[in-house]
Amino acid sequence: MKAVVIGAGLGGLSAALALAPMPVVVVSPCELGAGCSSAWAQGGIAAAVGSGDKPEYQFKDTIAVGNGLNDEDIVRQTMDDGPSVIERLEKYGVPFDRDAQGNLSLGLEAAHSKNRIVHAKDATGLAIMMALIKAVRTTPTIEIIENARAIELVLNDGTIHGVILEKGGKEIRLNTPYVILATGGAVALWRDTTVPHENWGGGLALAAKAGATLGDLEFLQFHPTAFDIGRDPMPLASEALRGEGATLITESKERFIDELQARDVVARAIWEQMSQGHRVFLDARTALGTSFAERFPTIYAICKSAGIDPTTAPIPVRPAAHYHMGGIVTDKHGRTDVPGLWACGEVACTGLHGANRLASNSLLEAASFGWHVAEDIKGTPSHEAIEPLREKSNLVHIRDAARRLSPEEKAQRIASIRALMSDNVGVIRDAKGLKSISEELAPFAEVSDRALVGLMIAQSALKREESRGAHYRSDFPDSRAEAVHSRIRLSDLEHLT
């Protein structure tokens, strides 16, 4: 019986490779490797592999940043996996940077107590994905379906029995007792975002409509230093630049923040400067100077394409939606509460990140959980493949209604949702904005998966009446004494018609 992996980023491909020689189908919405955030990751992958470092140290750093919401068992499991993840990736041919002595070259990023960022120049995600794509394409038991999207999970008595894809205007049904959602996050729902447009939360909608529990959706990390040069998505000025000593300044050259504080702190500091009418810049002239192009060739090329010479001028930056800590709730094996459905990567809420992600832990999580999901599926007996009755349902209604939109209407609706999310569920939030967006999105949530996901995120943020980690409420600026996870199911949504 074949397993079906929906999504082709690091988590999905790691799971597919680990499942071999079991037959696997990998479904990608684009050509393999395109449209996934993994390939855009610049900084690197965090792992305790350096001299003097230990998984326990990385565990403590992760817990400190997570603001009380980390699952400690999951953090330990993932940190302990770090060295073996790096070893596996190198076996697939990932060319991580090494020093003159042949040791892994390790960078430093915000809130890490040790240099532990394993990188391949400033295009680590791309290097990893190229190696894994090559491995997947040459694995005979892996079938690849490109330019297709999953539109429905097929259930029988609450158990996964298949998935329906849409490809070229036609529907394809794949029968399977094993579905792995690895569709990425939801941050393309925001107007200012650093991720591919495909990452708008489609996996969250699929899981929610199948009855899965979603968790901590309000925790959305805004990267402090996206290029403010009018591009969509916004290119990223990697945190590694600040790790090398680049500073944040206003147009009057005033430095206003310790750049290596946690991302949410730095993002809010920049947002406050912008709210006062200032522009913010990342200044690497002193820290890197003429070595910029050699150390950060990808970022240097972006600068030059925008008419900026970072060796002589600072880079204009602003916060942008970057990573979603919330997602489909899973256990340590990546299992959801829908039998036959697993999730890994950014679409999942494993408990690793808590209220705020420690930089570069996300690639580690994706690779680690892709392997754990595969191991769990190998040990899970399949149920008998039964052809379920396809009754007229709300799912069919949603698909049919969405198809009636013209391309122009669809583009307008997407732009409207992105603007609403940026204006009301941004770096700083309040009840007024969250109630307003809930009322705006509710009429469309039954005919638009994007609106549905946005509504779930907004209502989760409204219910968390405190500030914690990446979730900041100006009307509730303090944290509660007790850290409590949020959970939401489709049936919990308010304002739906």
Q: Which residues contact 278 (CB under 8 A, 6 or more apart)?
A: 250, 251, 252
| Sequential DSSP letters for 261-297 | S-HHHHHHHHHHHHHTT--EEEE-TTTTGGGHHHH-H
Pick the range with the lowest mean pLDDT from 5-9, 152-156, 335-339, 356-360.
Answer: 356-360
pLDDT digits (tens, 9 = 90+) for 160-176: 999 999 999 899 999 99
Tell me: do 139 and 90 sit in the same domain. Answer: yes
- State which residues form the domain around 18: 3-185+325-378
Tell me: do 329 and 308 sit in the same domain. Answer: no
Tell me: do 101 and 243 sit in the same domain. Answer: no
Count of the separate structural domains present in the chain: 2
pLDDT digits (tens, 9 = 90+) for 315-345: 999 999 999 999 999 999 999 999 999 999 9
Residue 197 inside a domain? The answer is no
Tell me: do 129 and 267 sit in the same domain. Answer: no
Q: Name the percent of the chain lying above pLDDT 70.
A: 95
pLDDT of residue 263: 81
pLDDT band with cut points at 50, 70 and 90 for residue 214? very high
Nearest to 310 by CA among 288, 343, 332, 279: 288
pLDDT of residue 391: 37
Residue 335 inside a domain? The answer is yes
Tokens of 180: 């792995």
Average pLDDT of the chain is 93
Mean per-residue pLDDT for 276-285?
97
* Among candidate residues 337, 360, 378, the one where a domain is terminated: 378
Mean per-residue pLDDT for 148-159?
95
* Among candidate residues 319, 344, 368, the one where a domain is terminated: 319
Tell me: do 24 and 153 sit in the same domain. Answer: yes
CATH number at residue 148: 3.50.50.60
Residue 416 inside a domain? The answer is no
Q: Name the percent of the chain lying above pLDDT 90.
A: 85
* Among candidate residues 300, 319, 338, the one where a domain is terminated: 319
CATH number at residue 234: 3.90.700.10
pLDDT band with cut points at 50, 70 and 90 for residue 239? confident
pLDDT of residue 392: 34
Indicate the angle between helix axes 361-378 and 10-19, nearest 10 degrees.
30
Tokens of 29: 């919405």
Tell me: do 179 and 31 sit in the same domain. Answer: yes
pLDDT of residue 496: 54
Q: 473 forms bridges with which residues in the sheet?
A: 429, 476
Active site residues: 263
Residue 42 inside a domain? The answer is yes
Burial 432-454 (b: 16+ CB within 10 A, else e): ebbeebbebbbebbebbbbbbbb
pLDDT of residue 44: 92
pLDDT of residue 384: 52
Pick the range with the lowest mean pLDDT from 34-43, 89-98, 215-224, 300-309.
Answer: 34-43
Residue 422 inside a domain? The answer is no
What whole-number distance in Å separates Cα of residue 111 and Cα of residue 246? 16
Q: Which residues contact 446 (CB under 8 A, 6 or more apart)?
A: 394, 397, 398, 401, 452, 496, 497
Tell me: do 332 and 295 sit in the same domain. Answer: no
Tell me: do 245 and 287 sit in the same domain. Answer: yes
pLDDT of residue 240: 83
| Sequential DSSP letters for 185-199 | -SGGGSSSBSS-TT-
Residue 271 inside a domain? The answer is yes
Tell me: do 255 and 274 sit in the same domain. Answer: yes
Tell me: do 264 and 332 sit in the same domain. Answer: no
Mean per-residue pLDDT for 345-365?
96
pLDDT digits (tens, 9 = 90+) for 372-429: 999 999 998 876 544 443 433 334 444 544 556 788 888 898 999 999 999 999 999 9
Tell me: do 7 and 98 sit in the same domain. Answer: yes
Pick the range with the lowest mean pLDDT from 61-70, 105-114, 457-466.
Answer: 105-114
- Could you tell me the CA-to-CA distances from 365 to 85, 204, 469 in Å, in that order? 10, 18, 19
pLDDT of residue 403: 54
pLDDT of residue 381: 83
Pairing relation of β-strands 348-349 and 327-329? Answer: parallel
Tell me: do 77 and 163 sit in the same domain. Answer: yes
pTM over 0.75: yes
pLDDT at residue 204 is higher than 80: yes
Residue 59 inside a domain? The answer is yes
Mean per-residue pLDDT for 255-262?
90
Mean per-residue pLDDT for 48-56?
96
Instruction: Please name the helix (run of DSSP H) or strand (run of DSSP E) that holds residue 170, with its range, or none.
Output: strand 170-175
pLDDT at residue 272 is higher than 90: yes
Residue 161 inside a domain? The answer is yes
